[in-house]
Structure formats: C-alpha cells, structure tokens
Amino acid sequence: MTIDHVGAILYPEHTVLRVIGRFSFPLFCYLIVLGMESTRSVRNYFARLLLFAPISQVPYYLALGYEPFDLLNIFFTLASGVLFIHFLKKNPLLALLPASASFFLNFDYGLYGIALMGCMYLLKQDTKLGIVSVILLNLLFLQIWDIQMLSLFALPIILLHKSGYLKVGKEADRKTEYPAWRKYLFYIYYPLHLTVLYLIKSSYF
C-alpha cells in the first residue's frame, strides 16, 4: 500500500510502483474477512472502520490531489464491505444495500472493492469457488481497469495463509485480547503515512 501511494503521490511516472501496489487491496479484503471471524463484535469492527474514514479523508484528498469529496478513501470501502459480508450471511437481499451504495458514494475501488471482499469470504469457505470468483471478477473489470488483473498475484500469499503456512502461534479466537497498539496500528498508519507523503510532496516536489 505504501509503495503504491509513493508511486501515486511522489513518482507517478514510475508505473512499477503502482504495479507492486496491486498486491495490497486483495490482502486487505482477506484481512477484513479474518477480522470479522475473530472480532467479538462486528458492529464495533464496522464502527472503528467508519470512524477512521472521515479522519483519513483530509490527508487522502490532500496527498492524492483530489477535491475533498471527489473520491472517498479506503476506510469507506472496507466499512461497506463489512456490511456486505455481514448481510450476505444473514440475508443476501440486504447485501444489495452496501453494494448499491457504491453507485452513489464514490469510494475507492467502488463496487469492485465490495465484490472482492465477497469473493474473499467465498474463498475462506470454499477455496476453489473463491479462486474462480476472484478471477472472474477481475476479468469482468478487465476493460475498465486492466492493471488490477495483477492483483491476482496476491492469491498465492492468501492461499498460503489459508493453508496454515503463514500462521504464527495459536489460532486467535473471539476471546483473544490484543494490545491496543496492535489493534489500532493500521487504522492510525493509514492517515499518518498519507500525511507524511503529503508533507514530502509539498516540501520537495
């Protein structure tokens, strides 16, 4: 993610940085699914994501050169994805609500992002079905966003984790207590690294 943003903000002429950045979003989608499985409260998980969405919006639009509400940052996408997966489990018809929101709220990755989180949920339940759904989704968006096909190279990492090769220690459960710094590290890192990149851009570029 950081490499992707360095490319987008500081070195847009170096396409390789954006190519490397395609790995990040599928991993985030997979982590959202894992987070929903391990959290003690999906409601609180959703609330944390939604809380950091407006907090991150200012450094997001400043660093990337958007108008304030041209494009909403990734926290809006992830929060919508949590709702999508939650409703998908409870009542698939309700899952249409966060999916439809992508047509009215212009958040990062849009409908593709929400659908990819749904694919990662399928992958967690059924590996073969999940892989097929991820490939088909990227093929569907090929004409719109061809570079995103490179995100398929993140699949081996996800499959290694699902198979247990990348897990360290015991599997966490809903009662696992993590230090606050670990729980909020990504939430804080996202707006913080965008702020740093914006300051570098303003001072040196």
Residue-level pLDDT at 182: 72
Asked whether the predicted pLDDT for residue 90 surpasses 80, the reply is: yes
Measure the CA–CA gap between 26 and 14, rounded to whole angstroms.
Answer: 22
pLDDT digits (tens, 9 = 90+) for 9-63: 999 999 999 999 999 999 999 999 999 999 989 999 999 999 999 999 999 999 9
**What is the DSSP code string of 121-154?**
HHHHH-HHHHHHHHHHHHHHTTTT-GGGGGGGGG
Which DSSP letter does residue 171 get?
Answer: P
> Encoding tokens for residue 203?
């001072």
Measure the CA–CA gap between 9 and 182, rounded to whole angstroms.
Answer: 27
Q: Report yes or no on 203 lying in a domain.
A: no
Q: Report yes or no on 124 lying in a domain.
A: yes
Helix (H) or strand (E) run with residue 38 in it = helix 24-38
Q: Report yes or no on 178 lying in a domain.
A: no
Phi then psi for residue 61, to 5 deg, are -75, -30
The three-class DSSP label of residue 108 is coil
Q: Report yes or no on 154 lying in a domain.
A: yes
Q: Report yes or no on 13 lying in a domain.
A: no
Chain centroid to CA 121: how far? 13
The residue with tokens 């699949």 is: 155
pLDDT digits (tens, 9 = 90+) for 129-181: 999 999 999 999 998 889 999 999 999 999 999 998 887 655 555 545 566 66
Q: Report yes or no on 140 lying in a domain.
A: yes
Q: Name the domain count of the chain.
A: 1
Residue-level pLDDT at 179: 66
Q: Report yes or no on 60 lying in a domain.
A: no
Strand-pairing partners, residue 72, are 107
What domain range is 79 assigned to? 25-51+68-168
Band of residue 183 on the pLDDT scale cut at 50, 70, 90: confident
| 134 residue type, one letter | V
CB 79 within 8 A of CB 44: no
Find the angle CA(45)-CA(52)-CA(124) to the nearest 5 degrees.
40
Q: Where are the beta strands (DSSP E) in the chain?
A: none
Measure the CA–CA gap between 63 and 22, rounded to whole angstroms.
Answer: 19
Q: Report yes or no on 176 lying in a domain.
A: no
The torsion region of residue 193 among left (phi > 0), alpha (psi -120 to 50) and beta comes to: alpha
